[in-house]
Amino acid sequence: MPRRPRVTAWFTALIVAAASLALLGVRGLSNDAERVEERLRGQSMALARAVAEAVEASARELQPDGVERLALRASSDGSWASERTAWLSQDGPTPYMRDQVDALERDGQLGELRRKLGEWTDRSDSPGIVAWALATTAAVERRAGDSDRARAALTRLIAEHPLAADERGLPRALAARWSLSELDGHPLEALESVTRDLLEARESLEPATLAVLAQLALDTLCARDSARCAELTELDQQRQFSRRLRSSWRQGISNWLASGAPRGRAWFELAADPLVASHQTEYALLRASATAEGYDVVALRGAALAQAALARAEIAAWQELGFGACIVDGAGRTLAGAPLELDADTVSERLPAPFDAYTVRSRSLDIESARSAARQRLWTTVALALAVLAAAVLAAWLGIRALEREARAAHQREQFVAAVTHELKAPLASIRLLAELLEQGGVSEAKVREFGARTVTEADRLSRLISSVLEMARLDGGGAPREREEVLLRQLALETLRQFEPVALDKQIRVQLHPCDESLQVLASRDALGSALFELLTNASKYGGRSDIELAIEPRGERVVLAVLDRGPGVPKAEFERIFEPFQRLGDELTREQPGVGLGLALVRKVAQSHGGDARCVAREGGGSRFEIELPRAVKETV
């Protein structure tokens, strides 16, 4: 088969070309997906720059109205010009007075202590001492368990000395109100009032003691009424922002105001207030306008500026295109926009000074869907490429197999023609030779009978060969089945044995028919089935090694088996099926000792299959082969 290498090379080239095109397509789609991701990240970076420009523009255009703000009043030197409560730190008690109180209370001289405190509360020359004596009297009486005396001292302190403060600056009246609220079990209205006043007092940056007391009051109120707690908490947070703003003025606002507040705005960092637990830095955009008393300063929170920047039309257009942006502070808190976590697809851009405390985060919100679509296109292309490659490989394999079958069939036809030619020549040559001998005359009568018998044998051999070839061609061509009849198998076997007897005598072998049920019958063509059985006997005589042949007829359920057995060398198991293919013979055609064209067993199987059965070869115990024809059993009708 010389064409196979050339065809294989062509198919291999086709597969390599298809694989190369598929690889180029997959590579191109992969590059396209990377370019899409790079383009979306580049657009995210452009959005971040646009947000930075929007912050600058918003800082120039943002108006105080409608924005969370804190209005203050400042003078040109930067000092605070708003009204504030002036807590008076009047003259207080001497150390000797404090020591006397401590000594009398320690010695349990409550009467003498009350007398001394009474003298001090009646003094008119020193309000500070009076306020101290009243606060001390309330504390002593509470420890002594006399709530009425303590309540009376606190009430007098609140009424007569509302602006008194101790040496630390702590307003005594506020502390007295808190103590009085405690004595009364913290009535809700009184608790809210004193808490509100404590928070307002803390707005004036009084000592930490006041902050502690104010926080204690707020916590107590929160435990009683969540709504009032939320209101006062928000108020306190606004005042904390105010205190931080004023504490930051010394960092630059004085010069800004003194220079006329150019452009009416400035950006200042607010120092963290030590009274605030979070200690987080905040930022404000300040605006100022001149008044008769100084400057009206408005502080806009950084969150308001960030929200105004993201609300601009040029940023909203990006959002409509599927991009998102947010502005975060130095602590990572989102001031404006939907929060975006930092990942490989998020672009982070720090804003320029003076807004460098803020960072813009932006990304394409559709990048995952774009990546998924690109991945789907890639895998679809890969699947199609693999399908094309598989189809190409399958087509190549089928093509090569078809060419191999064609070449094998051509080779078999050549062998068949050679074998048929040889098989036809042999009987014709014998018949011609015998006829020439008879023509020459001088042959004895016995020889004439011998030559006649041999001529008949050779003619039968020639006839069987031609019949086999024609029958195989008819069956392969889908010819109509021969007329069938009920055939008794034992009778058919005896008839076939009589036909085979000359071959057996010539081969010097004996054929034995096993006892069987004479009623076993099949619906078949007598001639075709007899020819098939004759072929099995002939095959056994050729390859059985001159051993005796056995013929068995056996029922097998709804079927019946015609079996021809021999004790020859047998057939290799791998050849059980191949020997039933047309033109297939064991060994090389030039070295085979037995004549034939390889159609006998193929014809046997074709005949069996045309009758609804099959033919097979199995190994026989003790050596040899067993060839079977299995057919459907015909049940004899009874009347």
* pLDDT tens per residue across span 361-410: 998 887 777 667 666 766 777 677 677 777 777 777 777 777 777 777 77
Beta carbons of 190 and 196 less than 8 angstroms apart: no
pLDDT of res. 279: 43
For 286-290, 485-489, 530-534, 630-634, which range has the lowest pLDDT when averaged over its residues? 286-290
Q: Where are the alpha helices (DSSP H) in 62-146?
A: 95-106, 110-121, 127-144
pLDDT of res. 374: 65
**Mean pLDDT across the chain, nearest whole number?**
77
Q: What is the pLDDT of residues 337-367, one digit of tens each?
A: 888 888 888 888 888 877 887 899 998 887 7
Q: What is the pLDDT of residues 178-205, one digit of tens each?
A: 888 888 888 888 888 888 888 777 655 4
pLDDT of res. 83: 43
Predicted confidence (pLDDT) at residue 536 exceeds the cutoff of 70 = yes
Question: How large is the average pLDDT for residues 77-87?
Answer: 53
Higher pLDDT, 572 or 289: 572
| Burial status of residue 112 (CB atoms within 10 A of its CB: 0-12, 13-18, 19 or more) | middle
- Which residue type occupies 158? I
pLDDT of res. 593: 53
Higher pLDDT, 367 or 412: 367
Q: Where are the alpha helices (DSSP H) in 62-109?
A: 95-106
pLDDT of res. 85: 46
Establish how many alpha carbons lie within 13 A of residue 109's alpha carbon, considering only the half-sphere containing its beta carbon.
11
CATH code, 482-632:
3.30.565.10
pLDDT of res. 362: 93
Higher pLDDT, 69 or 518: 518
pLDDT of res. 448: 74
Q: What whole-number distance in Å separates Cα of residue 548 and Cα of residue 563?
A: 14
Predicted confidence (pLDDT) at residue 23 exceeds the cutoff of 70 = no
Q: What is the pLDDT of residues 482-522, one digit of tens each?
A: 678 899 999 999 988 888 888 888 888 899 999 998 889 99
pLDDT of res. 630: 93
Question: How large is the average pLDDT for residues 558-586?
Answer: 82
For 6-15, 62-71, 412-421, which range has the lowest pLDDT when averaged over its residues? 62-71
Question: How large is the average pLDDT for residues 46-59?
Answer: 88
Q: Is 186 helix (H, G, I), strand (E, B) or coil?
A: coil
Predicted confidence (pLDDT) at residue 467 exceeds the cutoff of 80 = no
- Torsion region of 301: left, alpha or beta (phi above 0 gives left; psi -120 to 50 gives alpha): beta
- φ, ψ for residue 455, nearest 5 deg: -65, -40
Neighbours of 110 (CB within 10 A): 15
The angle, 0 to 180 degrees and rounded to 10, between the axes of the packed helices 188-202 and 226-247 is 10
pLDDT of res. 589: 42
Higher pLDDT, 68 or 28: 28
Higher pLDDT, 183 or 464: 183
Residue 138's Cα: distance from chain center in Å?
Answer: 74
Predicted confidence (pLDDT) at residue 591 exceeds the cutoff of 90 = no
Residue 424's Cα: distance from chain center in Å?
Answer: 73
pLDDT of res. 473: 62
Question: How large is the average pLDDT for residues 216-226?
Answer: 87
Question: How large is the average pLDDT for residues 575-595?
Answer: 62
Name the token pair of 577: 């099926």
Predicted confidence (pLDDT) at residue 542 exceeds the cutoff of 70 = yes
Predicted confidence (pLDDT) at residue 267 exceeds the cutoff of 70 = yes
Predicted confidence (pLDDT) at residue 277 exceeds the cutoff of 50 = no
Instruction: Output the furthest CA–CA distance in the chain (Å, rounded).
Output: 188
